Chains A and B, each alone.
Chain A
Amino acid sequence: MAHPMRGATAITGLGMTPMGRIFGKSATELAADAVKLAIADAGLRKDQIDGLLTNAGVTNAIGLNMQNYLGMKDLRLLNHMNAAGSTAAQMVQYAALAINAGMANHVVCVFADNPLSGGSGSGAAYAGAARAPGRPKGMAGLYTAAGYFGANTGYALAARRHMALYGTTQDQLGIIAVGQRAWATKSPIAQMRQPITLEDYHNSRWIIEPLHLLDCCLVSNGAVAVIVSSATAAKSMPQPPAYIWGMGQGHPGDPQRAGWDQETETGGNLAGKTAYAMAGVGPADVSQCQLYDCYTYTVLVTLEDYGFCGKGEGGPFVEDGKLGPGGALPTNTGGGELSGYYMWGMTPLSEAIIQTRGQGGERQAKNDVVLCTGNGGTLAYHGALILSPHAT
């Protein structure tokens, strides 16, 4: 018997502001723009929205006050959520559960961030402890004392371990970057649309070995909002419904001692198992992937943990270019966070919705079963959605 949540809800609205080096609006204003676009996209009136979930990016600049900024009266569901890059998928999950339980009808989920300011480089917003004033306290300060700064460090350390354990190569990481850039050239909303070669990848400067600049995601200002509704309501709404077939989470934990292997064995495995079981599908049924790709390595290890290949086989798996245009497993078809835009988990989610609707234009790929993943922290927090244009 099918899982009761399979196909019970759908994503019915999508609103995206301009993204990238977009200045002159606060995160709250960007969020409101995205919500307005999503409501119009869904063919709803604002007073039909009875649930609001918010997620702030690195600037932590939006929260529960969005309700009042948007003038939303008598919400039946409201929360400010934070599970880092897995939040976007999680917001959709909690919205779907609430809708299916009769707690709300149409829930808007919004992410907004504006880490870039006119004069600053992309890295400044994510430098982490390097910007903290004063001396660090206690053993946590061993990180900064060793020169461990920003997300780049944790992912470089994770990628290095994978390379050492399994023979994953710099070329294999580079092929992911090249493939996603090829997709980005086909997307009018991607920030980076100049094609790159594997040679360009190797020539891009080191950030922290083994990560080149082209292994690392963009930093973007902007906002994305999505609306979740019941499948029944979705059928009479203007956009092709993106039915939610499966949902799952996985959070492995990392107490910093022997026996825990979060660098190479992520919570994607647990999230995937739950989502596949709910959807009644497996990796062989997946038509395309929209994977959280803060780094090339994140894509590689995510493919392993969602069962597309065995543990440690991610490098050889991607080597033939199967993730890129024309490949057997179209992945991050909007360019992803590496080449498209960096809206945390809204990057894979927004492209998953566009693709599930069949609105991908030049970059449209087969879309019967779309896997969308979120990842946050250093491979610490994972959320998965399986979407389909088919109700059943």
Chain B
Amino acid sequence: MALNVVATTKPIPEPDEASQPFFDGARAGKLMLMRCAECGEFRMPARMHCDACLATATEWVEASGRGTVRTFGVMHQKYHAGFLEETPYNLAVVELEEGPRLVTNIVETANAAIAVGMPVTVAFTDYEDVSLPKFRPA
């Protein structure tokens, strides 16, 4: 669920046509995934063609929000002004129990407490006009 509104100059994405249901879902506290209506494989990121069968028919399903940390890093390099205050910050790849992987941040825990394989659950962060899925320890 949405926790807090973060004022930011971070490079926060805006929806495109293919990803609109993902962003609509996130704003409502739901993690939505695009799935192939022909073969059932997930598409990450949302896009026209299924990478398994090349079909274009799609459906959107709500994910459980549960996953595990596949890998993570702690960034010290100052690449972007929007991240200066929180550097060093973590970023992670979370593999959802449905299979797709998301690049995200682990919230509500210390960087030193993050571990590969750690179970996590989705926790949305609200920005000005979009919400994005982050993950916290399950």
Residues of A within 8 A of B (CB): 123, 127, 129-130, 132, 135-150, 152-153, 156-158, 160-161, 164-165, 205-211, 255-259, 263
CB-CB < 8 A to A127: which residues of B? 79
B76 and A148: CB pair below 8 A?
no
CB-CB < 8 A to A152: which residues of B? 77
CB-CB < 8 A to A257: which residues of B? 41-42, 44, 95, 99-101
Cα separation A141 to B72 with both chains bound (whole Å): 18
B77 and A145: CB pair below 8 A?
no
CB-CB < 8 A to B102: which residues of A? 142
B14 and A160: CB pair below 8 A?
no
- List 11 other contacts, CB 8 Å, given A144-B10, A258-B95, A258-B100: A130-B79, A142-B102, A146-B103, A148-B91, A156-B73, A157-B71, A160-B73, A164-B115, A207-B77, A256-B44, A263-B71
CB-CB < 8 A to A140: which residues of B? 13, 45
A135 and B103: CB pair below 8 A?
no
| Smallest Cβ-Cβ distance to A162: which chain B residue | B71
- Using A147-B105, A153-B91 as known contacts, say yes or no to A137 and B79 having CB atoms under 8 A apart: no
Per-residue contact bits, chain B 85-99, to A (CB 8 Å; 1 contact, 0 not) = 000110111010001
- A206 touches which of B13, B76, B79, B80 (Cβ 8 Å): B76
Cα separation A334 to B93 with both chains bound (whole Å): 35
CB-CB < 8 A to A256: which residues of B? 44-45, 100-101
Cα separation A135 to B16 with both chains bound (whole Å): 11
A138 and B83: CB pair below 8 A?
no
**Interface check B22, CB cutoff 8 A:** yes
CB-CB < 8 A to A130: which residues of B? 11, 79-80
CB distance from B31 to the nearest CB of A (A): 12
